[in-house]
């Protein structure tokens, strides 16, 4: 048995972490590698940190493309070689609809699919395909059930169709990029808009809607003051880390940031 109490101590999401501990114990007991459902990036990072000290367990993850934020976690005994591990059970899903007059974001698609019966752990990363709809990664185990299904995304009725991962038009991989900016304040909306390359008004709207997290916590106030080391994540658009903050002679702030 794993040291459950120690692994759960101070955990941000003890219920979800407890389920992962149960899967890890099953993998150790049965000697069979086990893939979890899709995990949000914060839970995945915390699981990797907490399980990383366990000498009998080895971890890997896969989200269907190199920079996937939501990923399935593989738990296995260290004695099992890579050649004995099955590929991650993933499939693609196309969500088709006309969003010309009611543009949607990935969070809208996720909400619509969950309302239509999907479980949160069924759905990986989602990206929009202009005004034609979206594509996403799903658990292979549920993909066939979405053949020809209909759902509502905002005001748009959509239809879903599963396909192989290779048939998706996946987002281009992002290389880590370091950038600098001089800002009049350290407000979240100002810094995030500069670092992620969107308008400040749009960023403020996303913050108020709950799409932005700072150090994994949802922040809904655009005026939240940032500090060095803070990590800003915008759903579907990557992460921005504040590497350095220096005051300028004109009472402004020079920021060094890294975008992933």
| Cβ atoms within 10 Å, residue 96 | 15
Q: Which domain holds residue 62?
A: 4-84
Query: Do residues 138 and 92 make contact, with C-beta atoms less than 8 angstroms apart?
Result: yes
- Residue 220 lies inside a defined structural domain of this protein: yes
Handedness of CA 25, 30, 33, 39 (dihedral sign): negative
* Claim to verify: residue 79 and residue 104 sit in the same structural domain: no
CATH of the domain at 239: 3.10.290.10
* Claim to verify: residue 215 and residue 163 sit in the same structural domain: no
Query: Do residues 102 and 156 make contact, with C-beta atoms less than 8 angstroms apart?
Result: yes
User: Distance between CA 134 and CA 97 in Å, rounded?
Assistant: 8
Q: Of 84, 111, 126, which one is at a domain's C-terminal end?
A: 84
Smallest Cα–Cα separation from 96: which of 21, 153, 28, 29?
A: 153
* Claim to verify: residue 198 and residue 255 sit in the same structural domain: yes
Residue that has been written with the tokens 């940031």 in this structure: 257
pLDDT at 235: 74
- Residue 172 lies inside a defined structural domain of this protein: no
pLDDT category of residue 85 using cuts at 50, 70 and 90: confident
pLDDT at 238: 82
* Claim to verify: residue 69 and residue 112 sit in the same structural domain: no
The half-sphere exposure of 170 on its side-chain side, counting CA atoms within 13 A, is 19
* Claim to verify: residue 74 and residue 110 sit in the same structural domain: no
For 117-155, list the strands marked E by DSSP. Answer: 123-128, 133-139, 150-153
| Spatial CB neighbours of 145, under 8 Å, sequence gap ≥ 6 | none
Q: Of 84, 112, 141, which one is at a domain's C-terminal end?
A: 84
The mean pLDDT of the chain is 94
- Residue 35 lies inside a defined structural domain of this protein: yes
Q: Of 138, 167, 196, which one is at a domain's C-terminal end?
A: 167
The percentage of the chain sitting over the pLDDT mark of 70, rounded to a whole number, equals 100
By mean pLDDT, which of 123-137, 168-182, 246-260 is the weakest? 168-182
* Claim to verify: residue 98 and residue 79 sit in the same structural domain: no
> Averaged over 7-17, what is the pLDDT?
94
**Cα Rg of the chain, angstroms:** 20
pLDDT at 15: 96
pLDDT digits (tens, 9 = 90+) for 91-117: 999 999 999 999 998 989 999 999 999
CATH of the domain at 57: 3.30.1370
pLDDT digits (tens, 9 = 90+) for 22-44: 999 999 999 999 999 999 988 99
Query: Do residues 33 and 76 make contact, with C-beta atoms less than 8 angstroms apart?
Result: yes
| Cβ atoms within 10 Å, residue 213 | 19
Beta-bridge mates of residue 61: 73
């Amino acid at each position: 048995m794993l040291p459950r109490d120690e692994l759960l101590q101070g955990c941000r999401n003890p219920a979800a972490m407890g389920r992962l501990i149960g899967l890890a114990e099953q993998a150790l007991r049965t000697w069979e590698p086990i893939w979890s459902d899709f995990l949000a990036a914060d839970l995945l990072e915390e699981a990797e940190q907490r399980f990383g000290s366990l000498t009998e367990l080895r971890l890997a993850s896969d989200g269907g493309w190199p920079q996937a934020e939501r990923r399935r976690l593989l738990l296995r005994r260290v004695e099992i070689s890579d050649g004995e591990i099955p590929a991650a059970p993933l499939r693609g899903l196309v969500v088709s609809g006309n969003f010309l007059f009611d543009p949607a974001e990935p969070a809208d698609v996720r909400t619509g699919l969950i309302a239509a019966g999907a479980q949160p752990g069924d759905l990986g990363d989602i990206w929009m395909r202009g005004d034609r709809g979206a594509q996403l990664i799903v658990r292979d185990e549920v993909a066939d059930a979405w053949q020809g299904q209909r759902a509502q995304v905002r005001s748009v009725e959509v239809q879903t169709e599963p396909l192989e991962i290779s048939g998706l038009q996946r987002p281009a991989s992002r290389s880590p990029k370091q950038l600098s900016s001089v800002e009049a304040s350290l407000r979240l909306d100002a810094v995030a808009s500069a670092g992620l390359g969107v308008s400040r008004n749009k960023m403020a709207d996303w913050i108020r809607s709950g799409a932005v997290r700072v150090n994994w916590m949802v922040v809904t106030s655009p005026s939240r003051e940032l500090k060095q080391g803070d990590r800003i994540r915008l759903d579907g658009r990557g992460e921005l880390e504040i590497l350095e903050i220096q005051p300028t002679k004109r009472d402004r702030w020079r920021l060094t940031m890294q975008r992933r």
